[in-house]
Structure 1
Amino acid sequence: MWKRLKPDLKLRLTLRVGAISTLCFAAISAYFLIEADRSVHTRIDAIAGLAARTLELQQNKIQWVNHPRSEFPDLDGVAASVMTPGLCLAFRASSGESVQRFCGGASGVTGHPPQAFVALYRTLFDLGREATHPVTARGTTIGEAAVWIDPAVQTAEAWHDAGRLIAALAIALPLLCMLVYAALARALRPTTIIREGLARIADDDLTTRLPSFELAELTAIGDVFNHLAARLSSALAERSELTRRLIVVQDEERRHLARELHDEFGQSLAAVRALAASARQTAAEECPALLPECDGIARTATDMMETLRGALFRLRPPDVDELGLVASLEGLVAGWNGRSRCQPRFDCRFDGAFESLPAAVGAGLYRIVQEALTNAAKHADARRVTLALTEHDGRTITLCIADDGRSAETAITSGMGLLGMRERVAALGGQLSFETGADRGATLHVVIPVPVHPVVMEHAA
């Protein structure tokens, strides 16, 4: 399944700034269009008032000089002073008939506005609305002066003004978005450092610290990050120390249990075998029918002794510090091959010098191999298990145990084997990874650093 890509913060903020800027330009354009329409209506209303007063003066003059043949109405003077493209000026008599009318020519604006703008503009504004003023003479209304603007001319001029704003938007908006994106990229550059720091923390590099940033918010994030990293490092160090002590206690308890089993249970089994031998000798002389029961007791005691030896070997392994890690592991592998009769087959390979390893490292590696081989043999049903131990320039040791068994989920979820291995690896300051194949097989990979100074593992009091 494809993971949907998400836009980064810079792109998202830039798009929001662009959207807000577009809305602002649209609001400004609407404001100018509204103001232009209001200005047109104010102007034509003033022209209608001027025309009405002019006609009233003409009518009063005619009556004052008693010259009825004087021309009325005469709007030439008014038209000459106020006429603009698309402006219409008329006088209507009381009957509604237009006695005189003047209309300006077409607008000097070239081109036709888009039909969408025409429809929107005519929906929003009352185009072609007339401004009228009554014309009176001696208290009687004799007509009215009417002024209006041709809707086509008004729409063309509005588109001309709005078109300039749209052109400015088309130029300014991309430039603004580029500048905002560049500014955000510069301001958010520290987030890359924060992300890299988090990635290093996820890779267990707890020494990572963030520098101080220019922005107060990012500086606060950096301070919290550094504090958490320090707390996490301290907590993991304390956990590692606790794990180390628990392992020491666990090993000491195993040694104590091994001694108790050897001294108490082992001696009891030896006594049972001796008594069985004595009883067999007596039965052979006095009651031969009891010989099979005596032999059964002896065999059961012998089997229990073998089981006890195996348990003691697991509880108290050979002294790795005395025998050496390689010899101890070879003996462990040989024991598994002997007990399993090479089903599965255990192989081992060693590359490097392991004689000078600290005792704690050697004992820890032995326990890890012991647990891993047990998991592979008992839970994975493997047919072949290979062990490879490699030393790298005296600095690190790599342990790789691979098997061809079934899916390792059983080995992972059964018991505390993998958890115990992780704790031992963590106590040694190493790293453990567990990989499973698609169908069969699993690989345990462990990397242990070799300390410059030997690690001292205290024994519990």
Structure 2
Amino acid sequence: MTVYRKISLLMLAVFLLIYLLGALFYIQQARHDVQRELDGVAGLAQSLESPDGLPESVVSGMRHLTPAGDTGTEVSRDVPAWFSALIAREFHRPVVNGWQVDPADEVEEIWEGFLLVSGAYAIGTCLCFLALFVMVRRGMRTLASLSEAMGAISAGQLTSRLPRQQEQELDSLICRFNSMAEALQSEQQTVSRLLNELLRLQDREREHIARVLHDDLGQYLTGIRAQARSLLYDPGLNDRQKKQASDLAENCETIQRHFRHLLQDLHPLVMEQLGLGSAIRHLTEQWQQLSGLECRLAMDDRLPEFTGEQQTHLYRFLQEALNNVSRHANASCATLAVALNATELSIEVRDDGVGNDCLPDNAGLGVRSMRERARCLGGEVKFFSRMGEGTRIRLAVPLSRLCPIPGSIV
């Protein structure tokens, strides 16, 4: 039940109670007035002659007095019988000097007054309910706006604000909501800055570790492998020792192969050397080798120019999306599409896996990092997934946020 209905029913009960109490007091007062009027009329009848000795016009014009035995003067048919009985049923109607005391005229006047008072009360009640409706509707309109704004806040639109209100109570509520929204927006901005800085620091540390490993450990592995290969041609070694040297060289080659995959995960050097397009192609090839799944790549040859940070965010976004496919989708094939139109760069990753009806509500750290990288790119990421129908991830980045040099090619 709505608040308006509850208030209306409560007010209706109060008005009915007041009306019944007023009617009770009115009837009691009317009975007292009728009794007093009848006593006065009885005294008047004693001073009058018998109705037989008076002209007919005088007899018919008498109020509250009728000739004894005359049944032609009943209570007006406009007065309900129950009301007449309620007012005058207990009164004694004496016969005085040939006149019978009759309260019919007085009861009719009381009934007319009762109708006027009831009508005025009904009009006042309707006006009160009309004023209540107007005020409650205005308040409910404000509450509905507040509910919509809170829904927008829960959906992440922290810029929602409500206008001030004239009513003090509603204005106080609106001010508190706006203050809460501003605080949440400020906290979100702070968290976003911290996450952005964390991602930057993470990428810099990955780049630093990759370079150190490539320049130091990679050189050592290459040297060990070369020395092991040279031992194969040493005439002073027997066959057993040469077999050990050959195994050592093969092990070094295996370590180097995994080492290159590790360096690619830490920091894709191919992106610095050949650009983002080549890095994406290399990412899909490497993902197919490691996951054993098919990846179909459809990418425009022309891509907008990115800053180094934007390239890293986009590459990590695609890397996380493909890793989620291999880890959680239970898919046999993935599709990666990178398309450029006049207004935006569109990226879509799709798989034919099991899907998830709760995505992205039950998102883990990987999906959160994808959202944050999309925000850093100035774009919007959407997740579409249904059980048994696979998952589709779409990233749309406006070119105005990406292209410091429009028309440049990566």
Between Structure 1 and Structure 2, the one with more strand by share is 1
Kindly provide the CA deviation profile for residues 196-218 of structure 1, in whole angstroms up to 9, marking residues without a partner as x: 65555556555554444433444
Go from structure 1 to structure 2 and tell me whether the alpha carbon gap of 1:303 and 1:239 turns closer, same or farther (over 3 Å shift): same
Quote the residue 2:401 is aligned against. Answer: 451
1:405 aligns with 2:353: yes
Count of residue correspondences: 389
Unaligned runs of 5+ in 2: 51-60, 95-99, 405-410
SS at match of 1:237: helix
1:60 counterpart residue number: none
The change in CA–CA distance for 1:30 and 1:373 in structure 2 (over 3 A counts) is: same
Shift of the alpha carbon at 1:282? 6.9
Residue correspondence of structure 1 range 307-386 to structure 2 within 5 A: 307-318=258-269, 320=271, 322-340=273-291, 343-351=292-300, 353-386=302-335
Q: 1:373 to 1:452 in 2, by over 3 A?
A: closer
* Contact persistence 1:109–1:160 (CA under 8 A): no
Task: Check 1:187–1:337 CA distance in 2 against 1; reply closer, same or farther (3 A cut).
Answer: closer
Rate the CA distance shift 1:213–1:411 in 2: closer, same or farther, 3 A.
Answer: closer
Q: Which moved more, 1:170-179 or 1:435-444?
A: 170-179
Match in the other structure for 2:34: 43
Give the CA deviation at 1:434.
1.9
1:38-187 paired onto structure 2 within 5 Å: 38-44=29-35, 47=38, 83=64, 105-110=73-78, 112=80, 128-130=89-91, 177-178=129-130, 180-182=132-134, 184-185=136-137
Q: Which runs of 5+ in 1 are unaligned?
A: 1-5, 58-70, 72-79, 90-99, 134-145, 455-461
Distance change (3 Å), C-alpha of 1:212 and 1:50: closer
Letter in 2 for 1:43: V
Say whether residues 1:244 and 2:196 are aligned partners.
yes
Q: SS of the counterpart of 2:401? A: coil
Distance 2:374 2:278 in 1: 21
Pair 33,81 (structure 1): closer, same or farther in 2 beyond 3 Å: farther
Change (3 A) 1:168 1:251: same
TM-score, length-scaled by structure 1: 0.65
Name the CA distance, whole Å, in 2 between partners of 1:217 and 1:272: 80
* Aligned residue type for 1:231: A
Change (3 A) 1:40 1:111: closer
Which amino acid in structure 1 is aligned with residue 366 of structure 2? G
Q: Specify the structure having the higher radius of gyration (Cα).
A: 1
Alignment-mate amino acid for residue 407 of structure 1: G
Distance in 2 (alpha carbons) for counterparts of 1:408 and 1:184: 44
Counterpart Cα distance in 1 of 2:7 and 2:182: 38
CA contact (8 A) 2:304 2:403 kept: no
The question of 1:32 aligning with 2:23 is answered yes
Deviations 1:70-104 (A, max 9, x none): x9xxxxxxxx977369xxx9xxxxxxxxxx99999
Secondary structure in 2 matching 1:399: strand
Residue of structure 2 in register with 1:231 after alignment: 183
Tell me if the contact between 2:305 and 2:403 (Cα under 8 Å) persists in the aligned partners.
Answer: no
* 1:379 match: secondary structure: helix
Alpha-carbon RMSD across the aligned residues, in angstroms, is 4.9
Question: What amino acid sits opposite 1:397 in the alignment?
Answer: L
Q: How does 1:295-310 map to 2 (within 5 A)?
A: 296-310=247-261
User: Which has the higher mean CA deviation after the structures are superposed, 423-432 or 163-172?
Assistant: 163-172
For 1:20, the equivalent position in structure 2 comes to 11
What's the CA shift for 1:401? 0.9
Aligned sequence identity (%): 23
